[in-house]
Amino acid sequence: MTMRSLLALLLLSIASVNLMAQTQPSNEIALDYTYLHTNAPPGGCGCFSMNGGSGSYAYHLGPQFATVIEVGAVHAAKVDASGLDLTLTSYLAGPRFYYRRPYARFVPYGQVLLGAVRATGGLAPANSGGASSSTVFGSALGGGVEFNISRTITLRVAQVDYFVTTFYNKVDDHQNNLRISTGAAYHFGKR
């Protein structure tokens, strides 16, 4: 190939990527089912499972980057032999990075979300007022894979996060949780 042909091919590639970025949907609303494996009771693992869901809004700043706001809740009834219940409600936000390839249906992504997590129920650590609820710092570090059904509908095949909470537990005030989600997203509004 001649230098002129290579230059034309390069310019065409840049223009097509630029056009793809301009027609990229800029908003996304998602609903997910969430499974959480947690070690909330103090000392040792004391692990148990929680189920629930989440909703999120993402604003795409381009094809590779979005800012995300997520609200979720998971619940467990009759935890272990205690018979107590626990509900965790999370309010998280942060960046999400996508690895998009032209014409690819599967799109992997990674994210770092920070915010607050509120515990309520019989197993919830008491706050200073003595009520059965407490709100602490929480974070989710992880990622997943989306499958593009169309320009507007995406299935979240799987999302796996290391979900950290810092509830008082008389040991180290730190809970390491595994969060797994799956769901669907609707994309709208073009840039």
Residue with tokens 């630029």: 18
Distance CA 24, CA 189 (A): 9
The residue with greater pLDDT, 173 or 32, is 32
Residue 177 has pLDDT above 50, yes or no: yes
Residue 81 has pLDDT above 50, yes or no: yes
Q: What is the pLDDT of residue 6?
A: 53
Residue 73 has pLDDT above 70, yes or no: yes
Q: What is the pLDDT of residue 5?
A: 60
Q: What percent of the chain has pLDDT over 90?
A: 55
Locate all alpha helices (DSSP H) within the chain, ordered by sequence.
3-22
Q: What is the pLDDT of residue 19?
A: 47
> With bands split at pLDDT 50, 70 and 90, how would you rate the model's confidence at 182?
very high
Mean pLDDT of 42-63: 85
Coil/strand/helix, residue 55: strand
Q: What is the pLDDT of residue 103?
A: 84
> With bands split at pLDDT 50, 70 and 90, how would you rate the model's confidence at 128?
very low
Question: Which value, to the nearest 10 degrees, does the dihedral of the CA atoms of residues 176, 135, 138, 177 take?
Answer: 20
Helix (H) / strand (E) containing 180: strand 175-190
Q: Is the pTM of this model over 0.85?
A: no
Summarised one tens digit per residue, pLDDT across range 89-127 is 999 999 999 998 888 899 999 999 999 999 998 877 764
Amino acid, res. 58:
A
Domain 24-188: top CATH class: mainly beta
Task: Give 2's contacts (C-beta < 8 A, 6+ positions apart).
Answer: none
Distance CA 69, CA 189 (A): 17
Helix (H) / strand (E) containing 27: strand 25-38
Distance CA 178, CA 161 (A): 6
Distance CA 138, CA 108 (A): 24
Summarised one tens digit per residue, pLDDT across range 5-49 is 655 655 555 554 444 444 556 899 999 999 999 876 555 566 889
- Alpha-carbon distance values, 168 to 22, 76, 87, 179 (Å): 47, 19, 15, 20
Q: Which of 77, 100, 92 lies closest to 154, judged by CA?
A: 100
